[in-house]
Amino acid sequence: MSTPQLIAAQRLLKRRLLLTAPAMLTLLVFLLVPLSIMFLVSILKSGDYGGVLWGQYSLDAYINFFYERDLDDSWVFNTDYLQIFQRSFLLSLLTTSGCLLIGFPTALYLALQSERKRNLLLFLVTVPFWTNLLVRTYAWILLLRNGGLVDASLQGIGITEQPLGLLYTDTAVIIGLLYSFLPFMVLPIYTSLEKLDWRLVEAAFDLGANRWQALKRIIIPLAMPGIIAGVLLVFIPALGNYIIPELLGGGKALMIGNLIQLQFGGSHNWPFGSALAFALLSFVLLAMLTYSMRFKSSNTGAGL
SS3 sequence of 54-93: EEEECCHHHHCCCEEECCCCCEEECCHHHHHHHHHHHHHH
Identify the pLDDT of residue 304.
43
Residue 136 lies in a domain: yes
Identify the pLDDT of residue 52.
86
Residue 278 lies in a domain: no
Using alpha carbons only, how large is the chain's radius of gyration in Å?
A: 25
pLDDT in tens, 255-265: 888 888 888 88
**Residue 186 sits in which domain range?**
80-268
Question: What are the percentages of helix, strand and coil residues in the chain, rounded to 5?
Answer: 75, 5, 20
Residue 223 lies in a domain: yes
Among the listed residues 174, 190, 207, the one whose alpha carbon sits nearest the alpha carbon of residue 106: 190
Residue 2 banded pLDDT, cuts 50, 70, 90: low
Please give the residue that has the higher pLDDT: either 294 or 276.
276
Average pLDDT over residues 160-172: 85
pTM of the predicted model as reported, rounded to 2 decimal places: 0.83
**Mean pLDDT lowest among 79-93, 199-213, 216-230, 288-302:** 288-302
pLDDT in tens, 92-118: 999 999 999 999 999 999 998 888 888
| Cα(101)–Cα(193) distance, integer angstroms | 16
pLDDT in tens, 3-43: 777 888 888 888 888 888 888 899 888 888 888 988 999 99
What is the average pLDDT score of the chain? 86
169: left (phi over 0), alpha (psi -120 to 50) or beta: beta
Please give the residue that has the higher pLDDT: either 185 or 163.
185
Residue 218 lies in a domain: yes
Average pLDDT over residues 142-148: 87
Residue 301 lies in a domain: no
Residue type, 209: A
> Is residue 134 a contact partner of residue 264, using CB atoms and an 8 Å limit?
no
Residue 245 lies in a domain: yes
| Cα(146)–Cα(155) distance, integer angstroms | 11
Measure CA of the first residue to CA of the last residue in the chain; give whole Å: 36
| Cα(178)–Cα(95) distance, integer angstroms | 5
Residue 134 lies in a domain: yes
Q: How many helices and strands (H and E) does the chain possess? A: 15, 4
| Cα(240)–Cα(248) distance, integer angstroms | 15
Q: Using the predicted structure, report yes or no on whether residue 154 has a pLDDT greater than 90.
A: no
Cβ-Cβ contacts under 8 Å for 213 (sequence gap 6 or more): 204
Whichever domain contains 219, its CATH number is 1.10.3720.10
Cβ-Cβ contacts under 8 Å for 151 (sequence gap 6 or more): 145, 160, 163, 164
Residue 20 lies in a domain: no
**Number of domains composing the chain:** 1
Q: Using the predicted structure, report yes or no on whether residue 175 has a pLDDT greater than 90.
A: yes
